[in-house]
């Protein structure tokens, strides 16, 4: 099922929006994000995130999204339409590689997306590697792209938290985190709290 069959006609919408004078916030997006609030584990003294150069977060696709990507290979990361969703905005699609770390309200972390890696073989999951440019404690990372309920065609397109780890500039793992809630849905509002502990 392509985005065109979903009635969203992404190329047409992108071309039409400037003519309508619609701001970026009014774009119709087929995918969204899960928000992750960077907190501290109860057994941790001090800021576990100090010295973080990169952070890697993995979430697995639950049944609805596994079925969605099986039925829609063009919307996978390597697919014809998927590369525009997972890619940069200058490619002409939704450009989530840029959107995830755009500055804006809500205390977003200072970050860049170093890598988006979707796996759909043995394990069905999405892993994001963020370059971290500032403090993380109390800040929010956006995780995605995750299909909306309308795009996925089911009421609960759930992703499940799998892991979160931080690394220093030399590539050494310096913290790992558990999650306050394992499951999340695109645009659910409330963030998942990640509770990190220092490894050293």
Segments forming the whole domain that contains residue 133:
31-198
Residue 182 resides in a domain: yes
Residue 151 sits at φ, ψ, to 5 deg, of: -70, -45
Cβ(71)–Cβ(110) below 8 Å = no
Residue 42 resides in a domain: yes
Q: How far apart are CA 92 and CA 137, in angstroms?
A: 34
Residue 65 resides in a domain: yes
Entry pTM: 0.85
Residue 15 resides in a domain: no
Residue 118 resides in a domain: yes
- State percent of the chain over pLDDT 90: 78
Residue 18 resides in a domain: no
pLDDT digits (tens, 9 = 90+) for 138-188: 999 999 999 999 999 998 899 999 999 999 999 999 999 999 899 999 988
Cα-trace Rg, the chain: 17
Number of domains in the chain: 1
Residue 1 resides in a domain: no
């Amino acid at each position: 099922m392509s985005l065109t069959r979903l009635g969203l006609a992404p190329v047409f919408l992108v071309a039409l929006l400037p003519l309508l004078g619609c701001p970026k916030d009014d774009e119709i997006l087929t995918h969204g994000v899960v928000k992750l609030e960077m907190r501290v584990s109860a057994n941790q003294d001090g800021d576990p995130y100090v010295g973080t150069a990169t952070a890697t977060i993995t979430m697995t696709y639950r049944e609805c999204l596994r079925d969605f990507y099986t039925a829609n290979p063009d919307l996978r990361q390597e697919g014809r339409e998927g590369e525009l969703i997972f890619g940069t905005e200058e490619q002409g699609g939704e450009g989530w590689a840029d959107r995830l770390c755009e500055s804006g309200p809500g205390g977003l972390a200072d970050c860049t997306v170093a890598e988006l890696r979707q796996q759909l073989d043995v394990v069905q999951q999405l892993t994001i590697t963020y370059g971290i440019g500032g403090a993380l404690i109390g800040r929010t990372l956006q995780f995605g792209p995750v299909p909306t309920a309308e795009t996925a065609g089911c009421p609960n397109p759930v992703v499940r938290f799998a892991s979160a780890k931080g690394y220093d500039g030399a590539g050494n793992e310096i913290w790992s985190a558990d999650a306050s809630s394992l499951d999340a849905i695109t645009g659910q509002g409330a963030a998942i709290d990640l509770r990190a502990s220092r490894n050293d």
